[in-house]
Amino acid sequence: MKQMSSSHMDNIPSTPGKFKMEKSSYIQRCRHSSSVAKLTFFVFLGLILVLFFKSPSTSSLSSSSSSPYSSSSSISSDLSRRSLKTSSWGGLAWEKRVRSSARIRSRNGFSVLVTGAAGFVGTHASVALKRRGDGVLGLDNFNDYYDPALKRARQSLLERSGIYIVEGDINDAPLLKKLFELIPFTHVMHLAAQAGVRYAMENPGSYVHSNIAGFVNLLEVCKSANPQPAIVWASSSSVYGLNTKVPFSEKDRTDQPASLYAATKKAGEEIAHTYNHIYGLSLTGLRFFTVYGPWGRPDMAYFFFTRNILKGKSIPIFEAANHGTVARDFTYIDDIVKGCLGALDTAEKSTGSGGKKRAPAQLRVFNLGNTSPVPVSDLVSILERLLKVKAKRLVMKLPRNGDVQFTHANISSARREFGYKPTTDLQTGLKKFVRWYVSYYGSVKKSDQ
């Protein structure tokens, strides 16, 4: 594992006229459209559940928006390399660490369980919560979807902030129940997920296992907890799929997923609606738009572009049909964390008790993006200037593997509800990332991860 200096802490976020129409024909068309959409969704959900039971069970506890440039070369093709097993847990010493980490240290603070705490967004969010006095307990299984050493380095950083990460799987119901027995969590920030678009073509079962089965398992435990926690969880901008209306709004259709990853995140939103409706769980879904920054995921474009530029390797620049531009709404990690905390702070209490709903509960979904899509070619140009190295660009057609041509967030709902306002442009954010990258990996020769 790479040695870290105190300068790494500097890279952690500081964010603690009405139109009339024929009524009968309109209703018939709406009913027909709604029925078809629901039928399509449930058939698709059934298919991915079949994939789950046919594929090896896996779990990845780190979440952020997917990219068409996800690196497959750094990801093992061994589909059975991960298991459902949870590291040993329990005992007085273990319980003491759990309680200490989750202890609230400020008036009116929260006690938060953060799943995927060793992941990119999870690490930054955990530190931000702890810094403002909330009690924070992490949960992560440290799988090897990408370099586990990076996750362990994040873990060390969190430990220095007084945050303990329980090593375990979100599908481990006894473990989750034990944690809720020890700590009356007021909130859960659920960031654990199997991320990425391309990997779904290699190991589809891992997405169903983590993003659907794992989410359901967590909600099952939360519904029975007393008190029930409010839950803020990571959905994805990928749910907009083949939608061509821009910018993407939470009111837009999301029934045309372009990848299995997107389908599982859409399924998660429907599952959240179900548990909210039946059990009174307060649920807020956050659709992240291409998150980047220090301590990021190595399979994301900005990350492995940096590595390959420094090593003199070519990088793929995708273009759509007829030489169309591929663009992303790149969102800096500090802005995402502000959105996560804003959603947490405005989340209302769940209304159930003992697994029974007592009153209607809050159900929300928000876009968290930067609202300024940037062509991927411009991203490369910025990296070239920061690294002072010319990139070897390899222009390629956008592959048909679930990738979409562009993303663009409408953030008016988040701005209205909790004042979300991103402030970091891509140039500034990449400068911070490059500074961290060079510091962490040390030199070109060492940047092999």
Structure confidence at residue 24 (pLDDT): 41
Given a cut of 70, whether residue 16 has pLDDT beyond it is no
Task: Please measure the distance between the N-terminal and C-terminal CA atoms of the chain and give it in whole angstroms.
Answer: 11
- Decide if 240 is inside a domain: yes
Is residue 279 part of the annotated active site? The answer reads: no
| More confident: 399 or 216 | 216
Distance CA 187, CA 154 (A): 22
- Residue with the two structure tokens 């952690």: 12
Please report which helix (H) or strand (E) contains residue 426, including its range: helix 426-441
Structure confidence at residue 351 (pLDDT): 97
Kindly report the CATH number assigned to the domain that includes residue 252: 3.40.50.720
Given a cut of 80, whether residue 366 has pLDDT beyond it is yes
| More confident: 9 or 265 | 265
Neighbours of 393 (CB within 10 A): 15
Question: Count of domains in the chain?
Answer: 1
In this predicted model, what pLDDT tens digit does every residue of 265-277 receive, in sequence order?
Answer: 999 999 999 999 9
- Decide if 345 is inside a domain: yes
Structure confidence at residue 279 (pLDDT): 98
Distance CA 249, CA 371 (A): 11
Structure confidence at residue 112 (pLDDT): 98
Distance CA 292, CA 426 (A): 9
| More confident: 284 or 82 | 284
Which of the four pLDDT bands, split at 50, 70 and 90, describes residue 405? confident
Contact of 434 with 383, CB cutoff 8 Å: yes
Of the candidates 145, 261, 420, 440, the residue annotated as catalytic is 261
Structure confidence at residue 198 (pLDDT): 82
| More confident: 445 or 331 | 331
Please report which helix (H) or strand (E) contains residue 446, including its range: none
Residue 312 corresponds to which tokens in the numbers above?
Answer: 């003199």
Structure confidence at residue 397 (pLDDT): 83
**Cβ-based burial of 377 (10 A; exposed 0-12, middle 13-18, buried ≥19):** middle
Mean pLDDT over residues 192-214, rounded? 93
Residue 320 corresponds to which tokens in the numbers above?
Answer: 């759509």
Determine the longest span between alpha carbons in the chain, in angstroms: 70
In this predicted model, what pLDDT tens digit does every residue of 387-404 receive, in sequence order?
Answer: 999 999 988 887 666 567
Residue 422, classed as helix, strand or coil, is coil
Distance CA 50, CA 158 (A): 38
Residue 392, classed as helix, strand or coil, is strand
| Mean model confidence pLDDT for the chain | 84
Structure confidence at residue 401 (pLDDT): 60
Q: Which residues contact 54 (CB under 8 A, 6 or more apart)?
A: 205
Residue 387 corresponds to which tokens in the numbers above?
Answer: 């690294």
Q: What is the sign, positive or negative, of the torsion defined by CA atoms of 168, 171, 175, 176?
A: positive
Q: Which domain holds residue 161?
A: 92-290+333-369+410-422
Residue type present at position 132: R
CA atoms within 13 A on the CB side of 15: 23
- Decide if 396 is inside a domain: no
| More confident: 110 or 64 | 110
The separation between CA 49 and the C-alpha centre of its own chain, rounded to angstroms, equals: 21
- Judged by phi (left if over 0) then psi (alpha if -120 to 50, else beta), residue 154 lies in alpha
Given a cut of 70, whether residue 10 has pLDDT beyond it is no
* pLDDT over 90 percentage in the chain: 69
- Decide if 441 is inside a domain: no
In this predicted model, what pLDDT tens digit does every residue of 329-346 receive, in sequence order?
Answer: 999 999 999 999 999 999
- Residue with the two structure tokens 């991320």: 195
**Cβ-based burial of 139 (10 A; exposed 0-12, middle 13-18, buried ≥19):** buried
Mean pLDDT over residues 93-116, rounded? 97
The DSSP call for residue 190 is E
pTM of model > 0.85: no
Distance CA 282, CA 232 (A): 8
